[in-house]
Structure 1
Amino acid sequence: MKLLLLLLFLYAVTAKRVELDWNLKYKNVNADGLFERRVISINDQWPPLPVELNVNDILVIHLQNNLNEVTVIHAHGINQNNGTNHMDGAGMVTQCPIPANHNFTYEFPVTQAGTFWIHSHYKVQYMDGLRVPLVVRDIHEPFHWDEDQIISLSDWYHQDSYTNLEQYMNHDNIEGVEPIPQSGLINDHVNSTISFKPNKTYRLRFVNMAGIATFNVYLDGHDMQVIEVDGIPTQPTRTGLIYLAAGQRVSVLVKTKSTTDLNYILHANMNPAMFDYIPDGLKLSNDANIFPLKASPPLVADRQINMTVDFMENTDGLNHGVINDIPYLSPLVPSLNTLMTIEENLVNDTRVYGPQSQTIIADLDQVLEIVINNLDDGPHPFHLHGHSFQVIARGDGVYSKDTVIVEPINPTVRDTIVVTPEGYVVLRFRANNPGVWFFHCHVDWHLPAGLAATFITAPKLARQQFEALPDIMYDICTLSGLPAKGNAAGKKGLDLEGAPDGVRPIKNPLILGCIIATLVGISTIIWHVWVDPTSSQHEEEDEDQKRLLE
């Protein structure tokens, strides 16, 4: 008992309140040496400094928005499981955006150790540079190293993100071709140098802060030992190459050579097509073979949620990402505000959160099994707010009730998972964190395209525990010209007139053909101005695609 009290005392002594003043303003930089463009800086500095904490610290960010646009920030991977759901920073999910020339303070305890990052969570804004690594250290780390290095990976566009978004979500872009980055960056530079001392063990914390790019990383002449994925300590796993999709983080240990006679190249290739060959003897990493350090058996599912993912033309003439034939559209009122202000007898009614908010309500401690079937021909890294999940299965084709899987004894646990093209994953997590939690593809272009859903855990309990949101959570809505309370339309009860709705896939091929013909007819010249004419065309949709068995 005395030892326990001593440990608690030591935690209390080491924990501290870390306050940061972030003044967001524009700055011109030339990150890749090819083109100068405007970015969002923090305190007139870009790239911004990483945020470094100790576990149990309280992080306070006083944010001053001196931009001419709205913003929010999200601590990616931090579960906000201390009654701080309103600090999650997901735009129009847990808060309205912060208007231009206004302040907002984020404050929450950080009770998880590991590698995370903080980024804008409004449309595609973080690709304009509003992103920064977040490292949380623990004095009781299970591994030993001599020095610690943070290595960020990102893609880089010469156009600002909203210009690219206008071109992507555009009637001229019927195929839904994503903007292609002009460069890839390591630590926000194209020619980064990382200094190593001989005979030392380094912890390298890789953070993929890209908008779309997946990176394959290896270090010439050195093996790596994986010890963490997405904030979860793992059993040490030796590998020659690691794979990081957008939003994912991996920590490795590297033992340096005994001499300094040679320099070694750290390769971070932006996609598999860049690998002209695989170096001899290079062992490829697969997180299916990386197991949590703290072993736990597969959770037993109480309920299965089926999600069939695809991209297709919709009734608004745009190419949307859809889950079960519905693209996500943001409600007019943040879902958390709705939870806190709607009539209490409706708090468990998914309809009040919006017809296209893709809301799933879970009971407290219910184990949800999420089956994602990706019918699209591209990969999708899905990220869950507020939780980590077990990876139970993954494979090619469509998962159905007839699919045979072998459950792992100690499943991989992480918060961001790649669903391969025309493949599936099966995930499980315990809904033990009351509140509103976003689930979305972390290819940043795909979020405004609609590839997202909303999980709400124990709404009545969350409402009781949170008691009331701070006034600022309603004030910023009013300042942004948005309704602050009520259902998804800002009204009472089930009166949802005005809530975003009515965008659905076009199932009739005759109607689809007419729309395509019209759009192509009026946009051929513009199309060839901005779309790479060598880009591969998506295959025609197969009307008889297999659907997930319900």
Structure 2
Amino acid sequence: MKYFAFENLVYSWTTTDAYHADSNLCPLGTESDDRFALHPEQHIYREPRTIHQRWSITRQLQRPDGVLKRVYLINGQFPGPTIEARAGDEIEITVINRVENDDDDGVVIHWHGMLMKGFNEMDGVVGVTQCRVATGETFTYRFHIHRKQHGTFWYHAHSAVKRADGLYGALIVHKPVEGRIAHSDMALYEYDGEKLLLIGDWYHMPAEKVLAEYKDFRSFAYEPVPDSLLINGMGSYNCSNARPGRPVACIKTDRLPLQVFGNKAVRLRVVNVGASSGYSFQVENAALQLLAVDGGGAVSNATPQTSTLGVLYPGERMDVLLLPQKTITDRSAPSTVDLKIILDPELMQLMNPALTRAQSFALEWVHCAHGRHDRNDIRDTVDMYDLNDAQGPVLARNSPVRKKPAEIALLYTSLAINSFKNDEPWGELNHSSWVWKDANTAPLLATHRTAWVNGTEQANPLRTFNVPQFAAGQDRWLDLVINNVDDKGHPFHLHGYQFYVLGSRQDELGRSYNPFEAAVNHEDKLINIDTPLIKDTVYIKPRGYVILRFRLDNPGLWLMHCHVLWHQAVGMGTVLQIGRIARETARKAEQSCRWKGNHK
């Protein structure tokens, strides 16, 4: 049985002579039926252009892992179409909502990790930048990719909890080559193939019902445990694991091998598209070398090779080289790599016998050319590498990141059972929550600051919605300190920005980090201004804190929230205002509520 439609791709290896001289490529058409095989050679040499797509969003019954469920499709595909682009391109996506009886928050698409400089109104957040796109309505997202931005990104629904029902896909921005082939990533990192892996947990119940169970006081704020996991929209569920009290329409499906193509090494672009769980990524018969995190945040060249990487939390990405155990010399013998995904148990205090937490998948590695394909980059090897230990390249001595900014902001985040809300779990940052009341009302970006307090629902009547405000400027930097006073970790994502992670620690129970207190000088000594990592989504440990430093050079309203979908849905988020809101930006945001053409 076919569970989703493949995109028809016209595939060609035709590029410059320099590219052909650099590697022995797979034959024409080898990957034409694999819509998750990536094609940097089609983008890294060309000039910037506009990429137009028209998306029809529907919801239909599918069996991604053998269990029948209503899944969101884009142009008949789950996951949605992969957008491949280069830095400097313009993206123009027209979204048509054809979901029948879509009476909740409609459809809104967020471009996770994209800076959106000059395009705040296109960020795709109900209540912050636009109104919902209701059934029968259309909306066009139009923005430029910053000329210096490249890496692994993705898009997903940012309305209701549709992301957990499959409304997501990848946005891959390739780094363009200027000059000789030696400047390409493929030459620099010695690989000759790329593969996209969208990996995440999966629930068999509709997401809105999962959320309702989480909010029920009888759940005691314990997160719902997933039932399965998917890679690129496919999995294999053991039907005998289904609980008698929660029957499912299940048929046995086999895990088909995931093919990768390359001779020296293959770049894997891995995205955690899950709603709740982090996971570890483990291989046998091969090795892994971490290249970058999130949107192109390069890691140090001293990062060792390993067989296990983790934990990758919801919203985070990593670019990894898949390396052969021995030099490849024969194109006629594909090798098999055993890939194991191990869901992290941190948010699994409840029992779910339906879930198999560690699952294995076969990667069939197709080698495409005769001859030896040695690599020059030989590194130390460790059994397991913790992503929290990753560091970036050494900063220049005169880097502005090394200078402590005058502006410091201190936030505290918590999640607790709320007696004002029928003992539901409720998330807050500095006693303020982000829960938008009405997806049809004008978003914050289109209204005056004095009216913002009326649009949100708060934990109790004594709370008000607060938006921290900071002046913008090329020479202005901010240290953002986030203390997590919860006994659970939270992966936080900041829209519109990338930041340097100067510190990430877990303190003793009852302590937190306050940069304004003189007594924390010993903590200041632990701040990393030599090799900080660049990210846009960062995991904050239980009872821990992070110190984030970034330049305040992107004016607008930007959401910051926990990327565990259930925590986000109960208010764990806030909005930051950077600089002033331009009148034209506010006007465009307001148009999302009144200019909606019905698609015939």
What TM-score do you get using the length of structure 1 for normalisation? 0.77
1:16 matched to 2:49: yes
1:29–1:338 CA distance, 2 compared to 1 (3 A): closer
Contact kept? 2:108, 2:125, Cα under 8 Å: yes
Offset of residue 164 of structure 1: 1.0
Among 293, 311, 320, which residue is 2:426 paired with?
Answer: 320
Say which SS state the counterpart of residue 591 (structure 2) adopts. helix
1:447 matched to 2:568: yes
1:177–1:228 CA distance, 2 compared to 1 (3 A): same
Instruction: Supply the AA of the counterpart residue of 1:121.
Output: H
Instruction: Supply the AA of the counterpart residue of 1:89.
Output: G
Q: Which residue of 2 aligns with 1:114?
A: 151
Q: Which residue of 2 aligns with 1:203?
A: 267
Among 381, 387, 392, which residue is 1:286 paired with?
Answer: 387
Q: Which residue of 2 aligns with 1:157?
A: 203
Q: Which residue of 2 aligns with 1:183?
A: 228
Aligned 1:26-37 pairs, distance under 5 A: 26-33=59-66, 35-37=67-69
Offset of residue 328 of structure 1: 2.5
Instruction: Supply the AA of the counterpart residue of 2:231.
Output: I
Contact kept? 1:94, 1:334, Cα under 8 Å: no
Contact kept? 1:215, 1:270, Cα under 8 Å: yes
Of the structure 1 ranges 215-224 and 92-101, higher mean CA displacement relative to structure 2 is found in: 215-224
Q: Which residue of 1 aligns with 2:503?
A: 393
Structure 1 residues not aligned, in runs of 5+: 1-9, 480-550
Cα distance between partner residues in 1 of 2:192 and 2:280: 25
1:364 matched to 2:465: no
1:458 matched to 2:579: yes
Of the structure 1 ranges 411-420 and 370-379, higher mean CA displacement relative to structure 2 is found in: 370-379
Among 161, 164, 170, which residue is 1:133 paired with?
Answer: 170
1:73 matched to 2:109: yes
Offset of residue 123 of structure 1: 2.3
Offset of residue 192 of structure 1: 4.8
Cα distance between partner residues in 2 of 1:270 and 1:340: 40
Offset of residue 428 of structure 1: 1.6
1:333–1:431 CA distance, 2 compared to 1 (3 A): farther
Q: Which residue of 2 aligns with 1:303?
A: 407
Contact kept? 2:277, 2:345, Cα under 8 Å: no
Q: Which residue of 1 aligns with 2:319?
A: 251
Cα distance between partner residues in 2 of 1:469 and 1:415: 26
Aligned 1:356-435 pairs, distance under 5 A: 356-365=464-473, 366-397=476-507, 398-400=512-514, 401=517, 402-403=519-520, 404-405=523-524, 406-408=526-528, 409-435=530-556
Cα distance between partner residues in 2 of 1:332 and 1:444: 19
Offset of residue 339 of structure 1: 4.5
Offset of residue 301 of structure 1: 2.5
Of the structure 1 ranges 295-304 and 219-228, higher mean CA displacement relative to structure 2 is found in: 295-304
Contact kept? 1:329, 1:356, Cα under 8 Å: no
Instruction: Supply the AA of the counterpart residue of 2:176.
Output: I
Aligned 1:223-262 pairs, distance under 5 A: 223-234=287-298, 235-236=300-301, 237-240=303-306, 241-243=308-310, 244-256=312-324, 257=326, 258=328, 260=333, 262=335
Offset of residue 95 of structure 1: 0.8
Among 267, 278, 282, which residue is 2:340 paired with?
Answer: 267
Cα distance between partner residues in 1 of 2:433 and 2:262: 53
Cα distance between partner residues in 2 of 1:411 and 1:451: 26
Say which SS state the counterpart of residue 402 (structure 2) adopts. coil
Say which SS state the counterpart of residue 473 (structure 1) adopts. helix
Instruction: Supply the AA of the counterpart residue of 1:105.
Output: T
Cα distance between partner residues in 1 of 2:465 and 2:45: 41
Say which SS state the counterpart of residue 162 (structure 1) adopts. helix
Instruction: Supply the AA of the counterpart residue of 1:108.
Output: F
Contact kept? 1:306, 1:370, Cα under 8 Å: yes
1:327–1:255 CA distance, 2 compared to 1 (3 A): same
Q: Which residue of 2 aligns with 1:512?
A: none
Offset of residue 60 of structure 1: 1.0
Instruction: Supply the AA of the counterpart residue of 1:152.
Output: L
Offset of residue 341 of structure 1: 4.1
Cα distance between partner residues in 2 of 1:180 and 1:78: 30
Contact kept? 2:313, 2:539, Cα under 8 Å: yes
1:46–1:286 CA distance, 2 compared to 1 (3 A): closer
Say which SS state the counterpart of residue 267 (structure 1) adopts. strand
Contact kept? 2:444, 2:452, Cα under 8 Å: no
Contact kept? 1:75, 1:89, Cα under 8 Å: yes
1:475 matched to 2:594: yes
Cα distance between partner residues in 1 of 2:578 and 2:409: 14
Q: Which residue of 2 aligns with 1:514?
A: none
Per-residue deviation, residues 453-474 of structure 1 (Å, max 9, x unmatched): 1001112xx3156373166323
Offset of residue 325 of structure 1: 3.0
Per-residue deviation, residues 69-128 of structure 1 (Å, max 9, x unmatched): 2110001000101x2111000111111111111111111112221100010001211111
Contact kept? 1:15, 1:57, Cα under 8 Å: yes
Cα distance between partner residues in 2 of 1:251 and 1:11: 17
Per-residue deviation, residues 407-460 of structure 1 (Å, max 9, x unmatched): 22121110000011121111122221011100000001111211001001112x
Cα distance between partner residues in 2 of 1:203 and 1:282: 20
Contact kept? 1:350, 1:361, Cα under 8 Å: no
Cα distance between partner residues in 2 of 1:457 and 1:350: 16
Cα distance between partner residues in 2 of 1:330 and 1:476: 21
Contact kept? 1:18, 1:57, Cα under 8 Å: yes
Aligned 1:483-494 pairs, distance under 5 A: none
Say which SS state the counterpart of residue 445 (structure 1) adopts. helix
1:438–1:338 CA distance, 2 compared to 1 (3 A): closer
Per-residue deviation, residues 514-537 of structure 1 (Å, max 9, x unmatched): xxxxxxxxxxxxxxxxxxxxxxxx
Offset of residue 351 of structure 1: 5.5
Instruction: Supply the AA of the counterpart residue of 1:167.
Output: E
Q: Which residue of 2 aligns with 1:99?
A: 134
Offset of residue 205 of structure 1: 0.5
Contact kept? 1:394, 1:426, Cα under 8 Å: yes
Cα distance between partner residues in 2 of 1:299 and 1:87: 32
Cα distance between partner residues in 2 of 1:195 and 1:359: 47
Say which SS state the counterpart of residue 468 (structure 1) adopts. helix
Instruction: Supply the AA of the counterpart residue of 2:432.
Output: I
Q: Which residue of 1 aligns with 2:25?
A: none
Structure 2 residues not aligned, in runs of 5+: 1-42, 178-183, 236-254, 347-356, 360-380, 457-462
Cα distance between partner residues in 2 of 1:352 and 1:36: 41
Say which SS state the counterpart of residue 127 (structure 2) adopts. coil
1:245–1:146 CA distance, 2 compared to 1 (3 A): same
Contact kept? 1:216, 1:272, Cα under 8 Å: no
Cα distance between partner residues in 2 of 1:453 and 1:335: 18
Say which SS state the counterpart of residue 233 (structure 2) adopts. coil
Instruction: Supply the AA of the counterpart residue of 1:316.
Output: K
1:261–1:14 CA distance, 2 compared to 1 (3 A): closer
Contact kept? 2:446, 2:590, Cα under 8 Å: no
Contact kept? 2:453, 2:464, Cα under 8 Å: no
Cα distance between partner residues in 2 of 1:187 and 1:301: 42
Contact kept? 2:272, 2:313, Cα under 8 Å: yes
Cα distance between partner residues in 2 of 1:293 and 1:250: 20
Contact kept? 2:45, 2:176, Cα under 8 Å: no
Contact kept? 1:154, 1:188, Cα under 8 Å: no
Q: How many residues get paired?
A: 458
Instruction: Supply the AA of the counterpart residue of 2:416.
Output: M
What is the root-mean-square deviation in Å for CA atoms of aligned residues?
2.9
Cα distance between partner residues in 2 of 1:163 and 1:23: 25
